[in-house]
Amino acid sequence: MAATKKAVLGPLVGAVDQGTSSTRFLVFNSKTAELLSHHQVEIKQEFPKEGWVEQDPKEILLSVYECIEKTCEKLGQLNIDISNIKAIGVSNQRETTVVWDKLTGEPLYNAVVWLDLRTQSTVETLSKSIPVNNNFVKTKTGLPLSTYFSAVKLRWLLDNVRKVQKAVEEDRALFGTIDSWLIWSLTGGAHGGVHCTDVTNASRTMLFNIHSLEWDKELCEFFAVPMKILPNIRSSSEIYGLMKAGSLEGVPISGCLGDQSAALVGQLCFQDGQAKNTYGTGCFLLCNTGHKCVFSEHGLLTTVAYKLGRDKPVYYALEGSVAIAGAVVRWLRDNLGIIKTSEEIEKLAKEVGTSYGCYFVPAFSGLYAPYWEPSARGIICGLTQFTNKCHIAFAALEAVCFQTREILDAMNRDCGIPLSHLQVDGGMTNNKILMQLQADILYIPVVKPSMPETTALGAAMAAGAAEGVGVWSLEPEDLSAVTMERFEPQINAKESEIRYSTWKKAVMKSMDWATKSSENGDTGIFSSLPLGFFVVSSMVMLIGARTAE
């Protein structure tokens, strides 16, 4: 006799959370926001040359299908009927650039990841074309000209990949960030797939006018990007199309948000002045600025926060972007081998409880906010013969917190009203030492939701609230109360300031490491010195040596 299906209160909503390090599919109860089940697959990153970061778009797509199927299997084991899943939202790593063939569905090159630095020479050349007294790129996009954003990555593909050039000439090429690639593929691909993106992802391309909410002809001409390959612009909450394969065939895809916007929604930061910080591969602090664009004077970005419906107003945010957060833990695991799992860093840091004067600036892809300094490279300094791998692990966690302090200070200066506490989310927030360090270094309380998957939750909320779905109410009185864990500062303010000022000194040491060289036939990509060469060489000899007594 078939097992009786378990009664579930309210319809369910699924969320694809496609990040830099992994893909996940999560299913929530739309009435309680309870996470019912999920599955996660780690994604490989490829580093074909110094400063280059790529991923396989097909691997990303297959990982999405795998996560959906495995999650559906787990729901079945819980006697939860997957026919209760009424909508799917998509949240994604932003800026990462894909070009594919619309006739075959095949990618024409690997995805060029947001961390990639190969376009630095392109950025330097283009910057000379922008009038000093009329930075129309920043005025229209809210973004500084940087390797970080999609337009220069797309320009590189158009200039250097013959398969891309040929496909554009033959009107076969489509461009998109990861959300566009996934939605097009999941809704049919070469057989009627929907080529679209939402306003939050579009706002990270440097081709999108954040005031008119349209692709900008002047920007496309400046970057020499043909507008015919761009996806259609949609809101963050509407039905884009239906799933065309797998266990959830026929379910509408009705939510789409860049990962940081999704986390802002998932943290319920719907009011002007509310902010959150997400700790993932990078670290991203977003503050809702309401219906107005606020332009930063302290190195932050102006970006679209969300637009939750075709006829709903757009909301903007100020953003502080840090390139390397969780990625530094992965580096310690994969490159140095001083930990076997990412979770192990907390144990190492706990053994010593201090960095013992060791400071780690993980500027692997230069420095993002508030410096925007591409010449910076990672350094570890303050080493002595006493330093061991535990101190370096502790310094790596401190680095994430110091970088957050820098962007929070910039945010406070831009907004004029200092944040009284910091709402946090993301995988790294499970590390209690990190959260306590963050409270100590900011010298304000850090507040963490008991369910940290706020990025996926935000995408699910957008999908469930979409017109034609309507299973998730975003009215304030209907939003579920969230249980929070609070971390209070435990050191005195003077000690906090001394540690921060020493960190700032280390940051200055990290700058001007990477230099352009025309003497060795370099093509304009940064020919960087090895990562903090002398200090890392010394460090490797010390790792595993004498431990603290």
What's the pLDDT tens digit per position in 478-505? Answer: 676 667 788 999 888 788 888 888 989 9
Cβ atoms 349, 394 nearer than 8 A: yes
Helix (H, G, I), strand (E, B) or coil at 26: strand
Of the ranges 26-35, 56-65, 537-546, which is most confident?
56-65
Q: Predicted confidence band at 476 (pLDDT cuts at 50, 70, 90)?
A: confident
Q: What is the largest CA-CA distance in the chain?
A: 77
Four-residue CA torsion sign, 74, 80, 81, 83 = negative
CATH fold match for the domains 12-262 and 319-450+485-510: yes
pLDDT score for 58: 97
Q: Copy the structure tokens of residue 500.
A: 């921060």
Higher per-residue confidence, 416 vs 105: 105
Determine which helix (DSSP H) or strand (DSSP E) holds 104, and give its type and residue range.
none
For residue 141, the Cα-to-chain-centroid distance in whole angstroms is: 18
Q: Predicted confidence band at 525 (pLDDT cuts at 50, 70, 90)?
A: very low
Share of the chain above pLDDT 70, in %: 91
Residue 266 CA to residue 256 CA, distance in Å, equals 13
> Where would I find the beta strands (DSSP E) of 324-373?
359-361
Q: At what angle do helices 389-415 and 493-510 cross, to 10 degrees?
A: 100
For residue 525, the Cα-to-chain-centroid distance in whole angstroms is: 24
pLDDT score for 485: 87
Residue showing tokens 């739309």: 30
Mean pLDDT of the chain: 87
**Domain boundaries defined on the chain:** 12-262, 319-450+485-510
Q: Is the peptide bond before 231 cis (omega within 30 degrees of 0)?
A: no
Angular region, 301: left φ>0, alpha ψ -120 to 50, beta rest: beta
pLDDT of 540 above 60:
no
Average pLDDT over residues 213-222: 96
pLDDT score for 6: 55
What is the fold of 12-262? Nucleotidyltransferase; domain 5 (3.30.420)
Q: Copy the structure tokens of residue 256.
A: 């789409």
pLDDT score for 542: 39
pLDDT score for 466: 94
pLDDT score for 531: 40
pLDDT score for 4: 54
Q: Copy the structure tokens of residue 327.
A: 């990625």
Residue 232 CA to residue 454 CA, distance in Å, equals 27
> Where would I find the beta strands (DSSP E) of 186-274?
196-198, 208-209, 214-215, 232-234, 237-242, 252-258
* Whole-number Cα distances in Å, 65 to 62, 70, 172, 243: 5, 9, 25, 11
Residue 141 CA to residue 202 CA, distance in Å, equals 10
Angular region, 468: left φ>0, alpha ψ -120 to 50, beta rest: left
Sequence-separated (6 or more) residues with CB below 8 Å from residue 345: 329, 332, 339, 393, 396, 397, 431
Q: At what angle do helices 344-352 and 389-415 cross, to 10 degrees?
A: 100
What's the pLDDT tens digit per position in 428-445? Answer: 888 898 999 999 989 889
Q: Predicted confidence band at 539 (pLDDT cuts at 50, 70, 90)?
A: very low
Q: Predicted confidence band at 214 (pLDDT cuts at 50, 70, 90)?
A: very high
**CA quadruple 76, 82, 88, 91: dihedral, nearest 10:** -10
Asked which of 2-6, 282-286, 385-389, 426-430 is least confident by mean pLDDT, the reply is 2-6
Rounded to the nearest 5 degrees, what angle is found at the Cα of 356, between the Cα atoms of 355 and 362?
A: 40
- CATH superfamily placement of domain 319-450+485-510: ATPase, nucleotide binding domain (3.30.420.40)
Average pLDDT over residues 375-404: 91
Average pLDDT over residues 318-329: 85
Residue 356 pairs in a beta bridge with none
- b (16+ CB within 10 A) / e for 244-274: eeebbeebbbbbbbbbbbbbbbbbbbbeeeb
